[in-house]
């Protein structure tokens, strides 16, 4: 396989990079967090600059907080694009808007470099276990070059369509995941306030039509009051803001997601941005003056 660059060693990126190393990939890494870089270097990676990665790597993965940072890493002075040559492929796994993805695609196309927008679903557990789902937008030939690496880091990868399609799919994913967490939260706050044991309620409904991956992932965390992030509220706050802006730009009303954004905004004001997005329950708990937790 080719030498690979990996930029972004956060909650998701660090375990993804480690899985590439375990598979024997020759990996160059970069992140502003020196401790994260050190940890991955100790696993066999080489610490590098953006320019070095652009020069020496045929495939470059990015997983960064937002689209502005992705564009900066690629196109600013000292960025990856300054040393890229034709035939290489950039894969941006960050959650960004379709417009931002298309801008990156167009900028790299001018120098003959492929670009695939490929956000992921599966959270930190999926990153650690190598079971992420990749949603890709771009050219088939570029997607095909990435498949060997998708197979290491995840359990599925689908090319949705042209540039921006992966980012659109991620926004749809985030609408479903975050609204589901909110509805699950509302339901369990009501059940708890009414005197029911939330653990028993979960056991009773999880095998029926109300059962879901969200229910199974979040209720065990909520009843233990465990809001250590796999997916931070801050990231989902940003994603739902992107949902609202994208939907408004194409004249799609999104009443549930617009209300959800205000819920996330309230949690931001009250200092919950670094909580796992299961912490959305805290909004509904504050309204009802009750906590969803295991009974003593």
Residue 65 CB contacts under 8 Å (≥ 6 apart), including other chains: 10, 94, 235, 238
Q: What is the DSSP track for 131-185?
A: -EEEEEES-HHHHHHHHHHHHHHEEEEEEEESTTHHHHHHHHHHHHHHHHHHHHH
DSSP per-residue string spanning 92-114: E-S---HHHHHHHHHHHHTTT-E
d(CA 209, CA 199): 17
Pair type for strands 120-121 and 132-137: antiparallel
The angle that helices 213-223 and 165-193 make with each other, rounded to 10 degrees, is 50
* Given the residues 14, 88, 170, 218, the one annotated as active site: 170
Instruction: Tell me whether residue 170 is one of the annotated catalytic residues.
Output: yes
Catalytic positions are 170
């Amino acid at each position: 396989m080719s030498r690979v660059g990996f930029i972004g060693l956060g909650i998701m990126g660090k375990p993804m990079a480690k899985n590439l190393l375990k598979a024997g990939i020759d990996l160059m890494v970069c992140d502003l967090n020196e401790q994260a870089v050190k940890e991955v270097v100790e696993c066999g990676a080489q610490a590098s600059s953006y320019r070095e990665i652009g020069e020496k790597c045929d495939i470059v993965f990015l997983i960064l907080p937002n689209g502005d940072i992705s564009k900066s890493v690629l196109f600013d002075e000292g960025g990856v694009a300054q040393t890229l040559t034709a035939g290489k492929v950039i894969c941006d796994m960050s959650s960004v808007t379709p417009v931002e993805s298309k801008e990156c695609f167009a900028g790299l196309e001018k120098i003959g470099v492929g670009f695939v927008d490929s956000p992921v679903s599966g959270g930190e557990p999926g990153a650690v276990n190598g079971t992420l789902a990749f949603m890709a937008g771009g050219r088939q030939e570029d997607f095909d070059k990435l498949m060997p690496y998708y197979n290491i880091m995840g359990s599925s990868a689908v090319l949705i369509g042209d540039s921006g399609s992966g980012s659109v799919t991620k926004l749809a994913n985030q609408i479903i995941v975050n609204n589901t967490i909110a509805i699950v939260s509302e339901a369990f706050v009501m059940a708890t306030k009414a005197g029911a044991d939330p653990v028993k309620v979960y056991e009773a409904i999880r095998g029926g039509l109300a059962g879901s991956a969200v229910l199974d992932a979040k209720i065990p965390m909520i009843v233990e009051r465990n809001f250590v992030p796999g997916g931070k509220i801050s990231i989902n706050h940003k994603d739902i803001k992107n949902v609202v802006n994208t939907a408004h730009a194409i004249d799609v009303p999104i009443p549930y997601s617009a209300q959800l954004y205000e819920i996330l905004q309230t949690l931001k004001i009250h200092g919950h941005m670094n909580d796992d997005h299961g912490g959305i329950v805290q909004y509904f708990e504050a309204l009802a003056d009750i906590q969803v937790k295991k009974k003593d």
